[in-house]
Amino acid sequence: MALRTSAFPNWFVAAIHAIGWVLIVPCFWFLDRFIASWKSTTLEKSLPLEVFFSLILFFILFLIACPFAFIGFLLWAPLQACRRPFSYHRETKIPEKESNFKLTEKTSFGFATANLCLLPDSVARFNNLGHTQRRATAIGQRIAHGVHRPQIRIIVESPSSCGTLSPSVSILSEGNSPTTPLNSNQNSNQQDRPRALLSRGHSSDDNIIWEMSSLFPTNLDVICLEEVFDKRAAQKLITALKPVFGHILYDVGVYACQPPCKCSTFKFFNSGLFVASRFPVLQAQFHFFPNSRGEDALAAKGLLATKLLIGKNERQKDVVGFFNCTHLHAPEGEGVIRCIQLDMVTKWIADFQAANTVPDEDVVFDVLCGDFNFDNCSPDDTLEQNHSLFEMYIDPCRAGPGKEKPWVSGTLLEQPTLYEEDVNSPDSLQRTLGDEKLRKQYISPPVPAAGQPLVYPENGQPWIGRRIDYILYRQSSLSKHYKTEIEEVHFITHLAGLIDHIPVSVRLGIKKDVEDTENIEE
């Protein structure tokens, strides 16, 4: 049974909520512009006189809009108690990606995660990112362009060849290459065009193909995006992505007093989670973290657990997958809070799967991804690195607690240098990730333990930097005759100049154990 699209139980409640929000928006927008007027990014230069008059104008408009916002708040806030913590967009104009799942056929699924920093414009500027609405449009178009472009297979004939590759960077002629709108922060000669592979390899230890890719991989099936806090930005993403991903969960999270009537935990922002899937969503559930502190407590960060319908097997039983995404507590030095949140994540996932698993269906993947806000190289993150979550789920980039695999890249960019030539375009950032000396300048370094000097990297190990964006998977929760393995891992530079993270994707191979299947059928 498909989910209803509206977050509210009926049209009347939804209409009252919409009226309240319409009254709030002008006041919110004037306040946003007031703050943005004096907070500029490193790319911008504002004249003092222009800043002064903008501040005066938007402050006056903010005061005029306040009474209307108060009335809107009185309508909006109480309705949060009956609001489902997400909305669901189902695109009916494209065919469902749902098909027969053949028992003897090996298939694969593509997953990606990216933190977009689509906060209100004034808040995003504290991360050196402005123009939230323009960035949202460009991000959506770039993702759709990368995922939906033609896939080309390249045969590599060399002693180190790993055979037939399906690169995420296709070699296309300019005449046939779809163009992506320019980032307003880039020059015309940095237009986003596909180029030949530059940074790609094959890890013989675990048989994984890895790549620093200047485009999103083709045929991604599910994408989790974090920090999509701005409602208008979310709509722009939906507009761009819905021709490719027919099922989208957005506006995920809770608002106002949570739990109700406890004003000390007022939520001004939702969770920022946004999931786009090619597969129908059968079930979804959201939990927010009750232990957030400081500025993180203003947002309803938490876990979104989903159950997706992949198709039917040869016995005409449902084939499903579990996809979970989260965004953990951000401030450094607060690993205890993150560990408690990881405990909640594992419990909530277990409860969701126990309540939504049907005995005669096939479960073919169980994925957990998102921005964990800790890495696998910082001494300050030792608690999180040793959490039991990593005994349940497999991290394909991790060699062990505190140790990354040598081909891995950090995913957190240094914010003051986002617009420098070495990192402000997909191609330049791709080259930078392949150069250890440049990588040190632009990827955030590990965080030392309190009161101790940092020794990094260890002798003979490459400099990787902070990888805080994860895609994990596990085998134990799948139907027993399915086996999984990671085929490819991509660190994606396609959104360079638009966000302060490096998106990550994996391709997860699924294989049916034919002998087990035959025994079951007998």
pLDDT of residue 150: 76
Q: Mean pLDDT lowest for which of 43-47, 111-115, 251-255, 502-506?
A: 43-47
3-state secondary structure of 230: coil
Q: What is the token pair recorded at 329?
A: 């507590």
CB burial class (10 A; 0-12, 13-18, 19+) of residue 5?
exposed
Give percent above pLDDT 70 in the chain: 85
Q: How many CB atoms lie within 10 A of CB 323?
A: 26
Q: What is the token pair recorded at 442?
A: 């632009």
CA distances from 110 to 107, 171, 267, 489 (A): 10, 20, 33, 10
Concerning whether 501 is annotated as a catalytic residue, the answer is yes
What is the Cα–Cα distance from 471 to 454, expressed in whole angstroms?
A: 27
Shortest CA distance to 473 belongs to which of 491, 485, 490, 482? Answer: 485
Contact (CB, 8 A) for 224 and 248: no
Q: Which position has the higher pLDDT, 144 or 100? A: 144
Residue 426 is which amino acid? Answer: P
What is the Cα–Cα distance from 390 to 150, expressed in whole angstroms?
A: 36
Helix or strand run (H / E) with residue 115: strand 107-118
Contact (CB, 8 A) for 328 and 373: yes
pLDDT of residue 83: 93
Q: Which position has the higher pLDDT, 103 or 92? A: 92
Going by pLDDT thresholds of 50, 70 and 90, the confidence category of residue 126 is very high
Helix or strand run (H / E) with residue 427: helix 426-433
Q: What is the token pair recorded at 150?
A: 């033609």
CB burial class (10 A; 0-12, 13-18, 19+) of residue 517?
middle
- Is the confidence at residue 184, as pLDDT, over 50? no
pLDDT of residue 451: 85
pLDDT of residue 365: 96
Contact (CB, 8 A) for 411 and 469: yes
What is the Cα–Cα distance from 409 to 434, expressed in whole angstroms?
A: 9
pLDDT tens-place string over residues 442-494: 999 999 998 888 889 888 888 999 999 999 999 999 998 899 999 999 999 99
pTM over 0.85: yes
pLDDT of residue 266: 87
Q: Is 182 left (phi over 0), alpha (psi -120 to 50) or beta?
A: beta
Shortest CA distance to 241 belongs to which of 68, 116, 77, 99? Answer: 116
- Is the confidence at residue 156, as pLDDT, over 50? no
Averaged pLDDT for residues 119-143? 96
Shortest CA distance to 326 belongs to which of 350, 339, 345, 354? Answer: 345
pLDDT of residue 53: 93
pLDDT of residue 3: 84
Rg of the chain on CA atoms, in Å: 23
Going by pLDDT thresholds of 50, 70 and 90, the confidence category of residue 315 is confident
CA distances from 266 to 74, 173, 299, 440, 473 (A): 14, 53, 9, 39, 34
Please give the biggest Cα pair distance in the chain: 82
pLDDT tens-place string over residues 402-435: 999 999 999 999 999 999 999 999 999 999 998 8
pLDDT tens-place string over residues 228-286: 999 999 999 999 999 999 999 999 999 988 766 565 678 999 999 999 999 999 999 99
CATH class of 86-148+198-512: alpha beta
Q: Mean pLDDT lowest for which of 173-182, 203-212, 245-254?
A: 173-182
CA distances from 337 to 270, 292, 344, 395 (A): 19, 7, 11, 21
Give percent above pLDDT 90 in the chain: 71
What is the Cα–Cα distance from 383 to 298, expressed in whole angstroms?
A: 25
- The rounded mean pLDDT for the chain is 86
Task: Determine the straight-line distance between the first and last CA of the chain, rounded to whole angstroms.
Answer: 31
The DSSP secondary-structure symbol of 443 reads B
- Is the confidence at residue 208, as pLDDT, over 60? yes
What backbone phi and psi angles, to 5 degrees, belong to 30?
A: -65, -40
pLDDT tens-place string over residues 339-396: 999 999 999 999 999 999 998 899 999 999 999 999 999 999 999 999 999 999 999 9
CB burial class (10 A; 0-12, 13-18, 19+) of residue 232?
middle
How does strand 107-118 pair with strand 247-250? unpaired
Q: What is the token pair recorded at 347?
A: 């419990």
Q: What are the DSSP E strand ranges found in 180-317?
A: 199-203, 208-213, 222-228, 247-250, 256-257, 266-267, 274-277, 281-288, 302-313
- Domain coordinates of the chain in residue numbers? 11-75, 86-148+198-512
pLDDT of residue 520: 47
What backbone phi and psi angles, to 5 degrees, belong to 411?
A: -120, 0
Name residue 327's beta-bridge partners.
371
Catalytic residue among 89, 247, 327, 501: 501
Contact (CB, 8 A) for 349 and 303: yes
What is the Cα–Cα distance from 162 to 156, expressed in whole angstroms?
A: 8
